[in-house]
Amino acid sequence: MLQQREQRMPRRSLLFLCVAIGLAVAPLAAKVPFWACALLLAAAFGRLLAEKWLGRWSILLLGVGLFAAGIGTAMVRYHTLVGLEPGTVLMLVLLSLKFLEAKSTRDFRVLVLLGYFLALTTLFFSQDFIVCIYIGGVFAVLTGALVHLQLAGWGEAENKLWPATRLSLLLLAQATPVVILLFLFFPRFNFGFQINNHLFDMTGMSDEMKPGGIESVVTSTKVAFRADFPDEETPPTGNLYWRGVVLWNSDGLNWTRGYAAGWKPEPLGGKTVRQRITLEPHGRKWLFALDRPTVPLPHDAQMVSGDALESRKPVNTALHYEVVSRTESREATLPPLIRATALRTQEVSPRARQLALSWRTAAASDREVVDQALRYFHKEHFLYTLAPGGYSGDSLDEFLFRRRTGFCEHYAGAFATLMRVAGIPSRVVLGYLGGNAGYGGYVIVPESDAHAWAEVWLPGHGWLRVDPTIVVAPERVNVGLESYLESAAATSSLLGATTGAVGGFMRMRDVLRDIRLAWDGVNYQWDLRVMGYDEEAQHNFFTVTGLGNPGTMRLILRTFLWIGIALTLLASWMNFRARKPADKVRALYDKFCRRAASAGVQREQWEGPLDFRERVLQRFPGRAAEVENIFRMYIRLRYGADEGNGKLVGDFSRAVRGFYPL
């Protein structure tokens, strides 16, 4: 009989498990091919609906077929089985096979454990606050399925789901203190785990600039990074130039990264600005900081040519770092090798060369050449737009003399190239401009704020930032791209609308923005306080709490000691809570026995309540109803189904207190 029960998976428990697996696989449907998720759900619910198990050979043939099909499809799509997405597909296929061959309760428990792992797989793709809360809920449902299986095996609550769900939530609540202790005190190690960067959706910045390149980035809705300023108020939007990649090689409007031989970090001065940045994964090495970063550098970062920050390994997970920037260049001389690199150009058309040389001829200094170039962009009716269309052939001439329509990349590339033709060292910087104020004093920098600007080297000043976009579309620099576009869109779409309609639209837009910013603030604090709790943050926590630096082994021992204490206290509390009603009933019964003994009726140690009741009734025949009531309540509380019944315990206590032998 026990063996048969062990081999049977209750249908309600299996339904519980199928729902849990469905919840676990749901977030993966947007990350891996849909057929893999559908295969798992079909296998799970097919196993639930099947009246009979498939035969051994049928399972073997079906399993081999599904496994071969899954492997083949993954190879065709990914060309490898190594990596996050191919590995997830393979796991879904294997889990489907396990569902098909599952028979016993042991198989059920294995499926629950695999369900836990499947739920955790989602965290490889996203660790947002709402995702983590969702995964916690999936854990509760999986644990509920396991509890339901156990209760069904005991013959309890087989057709009821709430008792299992309630017990599952209680178990998770009891485990929470242990989880918190492990999170805070268990040593943090950097194992160098990396996710293949080809798995990321590379919509972020590139290390080259071509017409239309940044245009494709600014249509993205993703967040590039978030930053706060612990020592001061957030600077104005127009001052938030976030330096990323420096481009040295010029070919008209096309610029590439290259390398400046003989480069050394440039001396900087001016006010220091400290930033704490949470960078979203982008699969490349560059880091971002306000113009311009200086020492001390973030951990595991280096400075590369052009005063740009770069990580020593690809940023494949959210990265938290602190950086200091200074605003003034103090470079007195430009080394010859750097000057040669910053003046090198490809073939430039005679018309563009004549334009640049005319500025040089009419100017008395390099600064005047820069000013004349900016006046040219301002007076010749250039237009700033996100959709300038494609450029081909001699794109520099087409932009400067015919179409005069472009985005920041067109203006920065054209300006820097013309400066080189005029004999002024220049380079292009790719990064971000501006950011949106989030709740809590931090700045959200979306990918749509991608920007390009130029830098020129002037004697006595060093490298100076020149943003030609500001003379064409000053609102883009002063209020940020998002506000600039929203203002333009609102103006064009609301022409002719009534004042009430305009006001309603603006109010709705503000409400939606407030909701989005509030939710982003929750995610930011989650990333900063929880997901960003690394080795350095743990060390700071120990310092603030007075624990110092206990060392790895001592920290491990201390962690398990605290966990042992917590578990002991929890077990003691649970034991006390479980025994308290029964102990109270026993104490009341002993009190009744002592009162009966005072009247000459002594209970023997071997004597049960039924035998003792007969002797008490003989001694107090006139109080038979009262005695019968006391013994009846005691038997119900001690041996019957009313154990722990608070109301009955109270009635029993009043009855015992009211019994006084005459």
Residue 61's alpha-carbon distances to 5, 58, 104, 556, 626, in angstroms, are 28, 5, 21, 48, 74
What pLDDT sits at residue 201? 47
**54-63, 420-429, 449-458: segment of lowest average pLDDT:** 54-63
Segment 133-160 shows an average pLDDT of 82
Of 430, 514, 520, 434, give the one whose Cα is nearest residue 244: 430
What pLDDT sits at residue 281? 87
Amino acid at 487: S
Q: What value, to the nearest 5°, has the Cα angle with vertex 279 and ends 275 and 280?
A: 160
d(CA 15, CA 47): 10
Among 18, 37, 408, 593, the one annotated catalytic: 408
d(CA 249, CA 427): 8
What pLDDT sits at residue 388? 77
Reduced to 3 states (helix: H, G, I; strand: E, B; else coil), residue 631 is: helix
pLDDT band at 318 (very low <50, low <70, confident <90, very high): confident
d(CA 650, CA 287): 69
Segment 276-285 shows an average pLDDT of 89
Residue 220 has pLDDT above 60, yes or no: yes
What pLDDT sits at residue 3? 42
**pLDDT over 90 percentage in the chain:** 28
Among 291, 394, 449, 467, the one annotated catalytic: 467
d(CA 292, CA 242): 8
What pLDDT sits at residue 190? 61
Half-sphere exposure of 4 (CA within 13 A, CB side): 1
Return mean pLDDT, the chain. Answer: 82
Residues 6+ apart with CB under 8 A from 6: 104, 105, 106
Residue 601's alpha-carbon distances to 194, 270, 465, 586, in angstroms, are 79, 97, 103, 18
What pLDDT sits at residue 419? 96
What pLDDT sits at residue 202? 47
How many Cβ atoms sit within 10 Å of the Cβ of residue 457? 22
| Ordered DSSP codes for 80-121 | -S-SHHHHHHHHHHHHHHHHHH--SHHHHHHHHHHHHHHHHH
For the question of residue 467 being annotated catalytic, the response is yes
d(CA 399, CA 381): 12
What pLDDT sits at residue 495? 45
Of 215, 207, 241, 206, give the one whose Cα is nearest residue 227: 241
How many Cβ atoms sit within 10 Å of the Cβ of residue 466? 20
339-384 pLDDT per residue, tens? 999 999 988 899 999 999 999 999 999 999 999 999 999 999 898 8
Residue 192 has pLDDT above 80, yes or no: no
What pLDDT sits at residue 133? 94
pLDDT band at 200 (very low <50, low <70, confident <90, very high): very low
Q: Which residues of 331-364 are buried (b: 16+ CB within 10 A; e: fewer)?
A: beebeeebeebbbebeebeeebeebbeebbeebe
**18-22, 557-561, 574-578, 612-616: segment of lowest average pLDDT:** 574-578
Segment 34-43 shows an average pLDDT of 88
| Contact between residue 432 and residue 211 where contact means Cβ atoms under 8 Å apart | no
Dump strand ranges (E) for 462-510: 462-466
Give me 239's structure tokens.
């001052």
| Ordered DSSP codes for 196-263 | -GGGS---S--SEE-TTHHHHHTT---EEEEEE-TTSPPPPGGG-EEEEEEE-EEETTEEE----TT-
Residue 86 has pLDDT above 60, yes or no: yes
Residue 43 has pLDDT above 70, yes or no: yes
**91-95, 207-211, 226-230, 397-401: segment of lowest average pLDDT:** 207-211
Amino acid at 330: R
pLDDT band at 558 (very low <50, low <70, confident <90, very high): confident
Dump strand ranges (E) for 345-396: 383-384
Among 148, 282, 410, 451, the one annotated catalytic: 451
pLDDT band at 393 (very low <50, low <70, confident <90, very high): low
Helix (H) or strand (E) holding 327: strand 319-329
pLDDT band at 7 (very low <50, low <70, confident <90, very high): low
What pLDDT sits at residue 5? 44
Q: Which residues of 470-491 are buried (b: 16+ CB within 10 A; e: fewer)?
A: bbbbeebbebbbbebeeeeeee
Residue 225's alpha-carbon distances to 108, 122, 193, 462, 524, in angstroms, are 43, 21, 21, 29, 10
- What residues pair up with 308 in beta bridges, in sequence order? 304
d(CA 366, CA 368): 5
d(CA 282, CA 261): 27
Segment 478-483 shows an average pLDDT of 52
**136-145, 254-263, 625-634: segment of lowest average pLDDT:** 254-263
pLDDT band at 487 (very low <50, low <70, confident <90, very high): low
d(CA 411, CA 253): 8
d(CA 397, CA 38): 54
Segment 608-620 shows an average pLDDT of 90
Give me 281's structure tokens.
């994964």
pLDDT band at 414 (very low <50, low <70, confident <90, very high): very high
| Contact between residue 180 and residue 380 where contact means Cβ atoms under 8 Å apart | no
For the question of residue 320 being annotated catalytic, the response is no
Place of tokens 């104490």: 587
pLDDT band at 503 (very low <50, low <70, confident <90, very high): low
d(CA 2, CA 623): 50
For the question of residue 408 being annotated catalytic, the response is yes
147-169 pLDDT per residue, tens? 888 887 655 555 667 788 888 89
228-257 pLDDT per residue, tens? 998 888 888 888 999 999 999 998 888 998
Segment 18-41 shows an average pLDDT of 91
Q: What value, to the nearest 5°, has the Cα angle with vertex 399 and ends 393 and 405?
A: 130
| Contact between residue 640 and residue 633 where contact means Cβ atoms under 8 Å apart | no
| Contact between residue 612 and residue 634 where contact means Cβ atoms under 8 Å apart | no
**pLDDT over 70 percentage in the chain:** 85
d(CA 388, CA 402): 12
Which position has the higher pLDDT, 420 or 93?
420
Q: Which residues of 63-91 are buried (b: 16+ CB within 10 A; e: fewer)?
A: beebeeebeeebeeebeeeebbbbbbbbb
Segment 549-566 shows an average pLDDT of 75
pLDDT band at 448 (very low <50, low <70, confident <90, very high): confident
